[in-house]
Amino acid sequence: MNDIFEGLVAAALLVVTLDADLVDITLRSLQVTMTALVVASAIAIPLGTWLAIRRFRYRRVVIAVMNALMGLPPVVVGLIVYILLSRAGPFGVLGLLFTPTAMIIAQVIIITPLIASITHQAMRDLWAEYHDLLISLNTNRRQRIAALVWDGRRTLLTASLAGFGRAIGEVGAIMIVGGNIENATRVLTTAIALETGKGDFALALGLGFVLIALALVVNLSIHWLSRTEREGRW
């Protein structure tokens, strides 16, 4: 219990003094995760929606694979991305290993199935509701996806936030592909792992509280932004 109190004190100190290292790794955490989130959402939302409205032969297989990928351990993703990006691997010449880009790639792989799966479930329900109307109105596939995505945007926001939560708190994969290099690829979670390894629980917890606060701020501000629309909810 004492450790938790010390952690809170450490967090408060870090924040109040605007510790330069803390600001640096916090901004990097945000940059990596936000970029990954945008890329993953751009892939996952159309994919999930498409899977909800399209009937094709291997649809169930694709959905099962997607759901299984959701449970993929980040460490495994990290290892695979490491092997691909390693100088000895197929994409080695790009020199991406141990860069924030590598961390973004790993996070995209980790959260895309999650966002796509939640999107698919939400869009399946909305499609069941809209199906007759949109068919009757003679919409083409693109128009259907657009209508579902637009009208389901609140649920999709929730899906994206779930992805954000998983990405911002992820450590296994980005530790491997980022390398936790100070001033280059160190982010909040890898810093926490490092401090825990050193037995400095207070600082580790302090960083943990900063991470929680960051996740809260992002969640609240996105909800607040979406609420400033004309009406509270549909």
Partner 1 sequence: MIRVVLAVLALGLSGWMALAEDFKLAVTTSFHNSGLSDVLLPAIAEDTGLNVQLLVVGTGQALKLGEAGDVDAILVHSRAAEEAFLEAGHGTHRRGIMYNDFVIIGPASDPADVSKAETAAAALMAISTAQVPFVSRGDDSGTHKKELSLWAAAGLDPAALGGWYRPVGAGMGASLNTAAGMNAYILSDRASWLNFGNTADLTLVYAGDPVLFNQYAYLPVHPDKNAAIKHEAALRLEAWLVSDRAKALINEYKVGGETLFVFNAK
Partner 2 sequence: MVSQLFPVTVKDVEVHRRGARLIGPVDLTLENRGITVVLGPNGAGKTTLLRAMHGIERINGGSVIWAVPPEVARLKQAYVFQTPIMMRRSVADNLAYPLKLRGAPKAEIADQVALWAERIGLADALGRSAPQLSGGEKQKLALARALVASPDVLFLDEPCANLDGRSMREIEALLIGARDAGVGILMTTHDLGQCKRLAEDIVFIIKGRVHETGAAAAFLEGPRTAEAKAFLRGDIIE
Count the site residues for partner 2 by CB under 8 A: 18
- The DSSP H or E segment spanning 94 is none
Contact status: 196 vs partner 1 (CB under 8 A): yes
Quick check: 32 and 107 in contact, CB under 8 A?
yes
92 binds, among partner 2, partner 1, none (CB under 5 to 8 A by kind): partner 1
* Binders in 93-152 for partner 2, by CB under 8 A: 126, 129-130, 132-133, 135-139, 143, 147, 151-152
SS3 state at 139: coil
Count the site residues for partner 1 by CB under 8 A: 22
Evaluate the CA torsion angle 95, 69, 160, 192 in order and state its sign. Answer: negative
Contact status: 76 vs partner 1 (CB under 8 A): no
Contact status: 32 vs partner 2 (CB under 8 A): no
Q: Around Cβ 39, how many Cβ atoms within 10 Å?
A: 16
Q: 176: burial class by Cβ within 10 Å (0-12, 13-18, 19+)?
A: buried
Which residue's entry shows tokens 């936030």?
A: 161
| Upper half-sphere CA count for residue 27 (Cβ side, 13 Å) | 9
Binder of partner 1 out of 50, 98, 164, 209 (CB under 8 A): 98
Q: How far is the CB of 148 from partner 2 (least distance, A)?
A: 10
Q: How far is the CB of 226 from partner 2 (least distance, A)?
A: 13
In the complex, the residues that contact partner 2 under the rule CB under 8 A are: 126, 129-130, 132-133, 135-139, 143, 147, 151-152, 230-231, 233-234
